[in-house]
Structure 1
Amino acid sequence: MAKTVHATSAPLRTDAARNRSRILEAALRRVEERGLSDLTMSEVAALAGVGKGTVFRHFGDRTGLLLALLDHSEQQFHASFTSGPPPLGPGAPAETRLRAFGHAVLRQMVNTVHVCLAAQMDPMRRFTASAYRVRLAHVAALLQEMLPAEDVELLAHVLMASLDPALTLTLVSQHDMTVDRVETGWDDLISRLAVSRGRVRYDE
């Protein structure tokens, strides 16, 4: 009996992982195409080609699905800036990587901002969330390389605040700013920071 259980359990785990991935991909496509309006677990199940119960078993409820979507997206993004190719990944000067990081965050946010806001935790608790702390540490490390004598911890928080999802959505939807314009503002901020600290701007 023990051999039979072990022989069948591995494929079940594989199927479960495959179903979870299909559900997340289907949900992300739906959000990118039509936003979060009227998104239901039943619709996601149909798009993924699985039963509604499967979606509930994996994610519990709609909020659980949204949080999983953010985590799925964050894992991919984390890999891009920690081990991906430059300028976002290792191998480029710190200032260039900071610019690339801001651009990548803003572009990712265009597709996920409504998910971020819908699943957002308490305003104070979100600053202790794992994704925020990982990004903060990355920005602080690049600032440490750029400006070793400065208060990089504080500067990192200030830079992260300029990439806040709610602020980005407000700039794009209420102030009619393009993402390109916001990216240019990020570049200008990084350049001014470097110059103001006596650093020579790195020209790509």
Structure 2
Amino acid sequence: MPERKLRKDAARNRRAVLEAADALFARCESPRDLTMADIAAAAGVGKGTLFRAFGDRAGLLRALYEARLEPVRQAVLAGPPPLGPATPPQQRAAALLDSVLCFKIDNRRLALALEESGGGPYRAEHYERWHGLLRAVLAEIPGLTDGDFTAHALLAATRADLVERLTGQEGVPRERLRAELAGYVAKVAAARPGPAPEA
């Protein structure tokens, strides 16, 4: 079989797997219960195809997450207001975190499954990307000298397990959660750190 045909089949299988996984994660109550066999069956491919294309379950989750995240990332990088350089950095930081929060709310089961696999949320490639973007924005805020730590602390407020707890278990409405995060970001971005306590 020609190599071009193989590549075409592989690309089609990859799309079918991602679409099937996307639909299954949207419907499942517990992401932990969704197996590679379930996804392969829904996509109409063998388990071997999944492992060849994605390596393991964590690799499949990362690929699906990145596919869903790409439009959000492009919107952030394109920089229209309120994310563009003409917007004050405090507002840009709030808008960036709001984008992450909304993405986690809309994809909370998938985000939870990804953050629970492969060593936790801090080892994921997308986390490093968000942290770098946020740290760069925070560096523009006069007087805020601990941008690296502050970026980690603010992103912790968008962890999938926290979003699941608040929206899934406690029933906090989406708009209230967004407003509370915006208020938290405003307080942190406006705060000026005092001298470090003596050891």
Q: TM-score range by the shorter chain?
A: 0.7 to 0.9
Alignment of 1:110-125 (within 5 A): 110-119=105-114, 120=116, 121-123=118-120
Corresponding residue SS for 1:146: coil
Equivalent residue, structure 1, for 2:63: 68
Equivalent residue, structure 1, for 2:20: 26
Deviation at 1:170, TM superposition (A): 1.3
- Residues 80 and 89 of structure 1: CA distance in aligned 2, closer, same or farther (over 3 Å): farther
Partners of 1:37 and 1:158 in 2: CA distance: 27
| TM-score for both structures, normalised by structure 1 | 0.75
Corresponding residue SS for 2:107: helix
1:97 aligns with 2:92: yes
- Residues 159 and 147 of structure 1: CA distance in aligned 2, closer, same or farther (over 3 Å): farther
Partners of 2:179 and 2:16 in 1: CA distance: 36
Partners of 1:11 and 1:89 in 2: CA distance: 43
Point out the more displaced range, 50-59 or 106-115: 50-59
Partners of 1:127 and 1:26 in 2: CA distance: 27
Deviation at 1:50, TM superposition (A): 4.2
| TM-score for both structures, normalised by structure 2 | 0.77
Alignment of 1:184-203 (within 5 A): 184-197=179-192
Aligned residues between the structures: 189
Q: Give the conservation status (yes or no) of the 8 Å contact 1:102–1:183.
A: no
1:147 aligns with 2:142: yes
- Residues 37 and 128 of structure 1: CA distance in aligned 2, closer, same or farther (over 3 Å): closer
Across the aligned residues of Structure 1 and Structure 2, the Cα RMSD in angstroms comes to 2.8
Equivalent residue, structure 1, for 2:165: 170
Partners of 1:48 and 1:88 in 2: CA distance: 37
* Alignment equivalent of 1:157, drawn from 148, 152, 156: 152
Extract unaligned runs of 5+ from structure 1. 198-204
Partner deviation per Cα, 1:113-137 (whole Å, 9 max, x = no partner): 32333332335xx424322111111
Deviation at 1:61, TM superposition (A): 4.4
Deviation at 1:95, TM superposition (A): 2.3
1:16 aligns with 2:13: no
Equivalent residue, structure 1, for 2:177: 182
- Residues 142 and 177 of structure 1: CA distance in aligned 2, closer, same or farther (over 3 Å): same
**Identity of paired residues, percent?**
35
Deviation at 1:155, TM superposition (A): 1.2
Q: Give the conservation status (yes or no) of the 8 Å contact 1:41–1:55.
A: yes
- Residues 140 and 63 of structure 1: CA distance in aligned 2, closer, same or farther (over 3 Å): closer
Partners of 1:21 and 1:147 in 2: CA distance: 46
Point out the more displaced range, 170-179 or 49-58: 49-58
Deviation at 1:185, TM superposition (A): 0.9
- Residues 47 and 130 of structure 1: CA distance in aligned 2, closer, same or farther (over 3 Å): same
Equivalent residue, structure 2, for 1:86: 81
Corresponding residue SS for 1:145: coil
Q: Give the conservation status (yes or no) of the 8 Å contact 2:26–2:109.
A: no
Partner deviation per Cα, 1:100-124 (whole Å, 9 max, x = no partner): 222221221123332333332335x
Corresponding residue SS for 1:17: helix
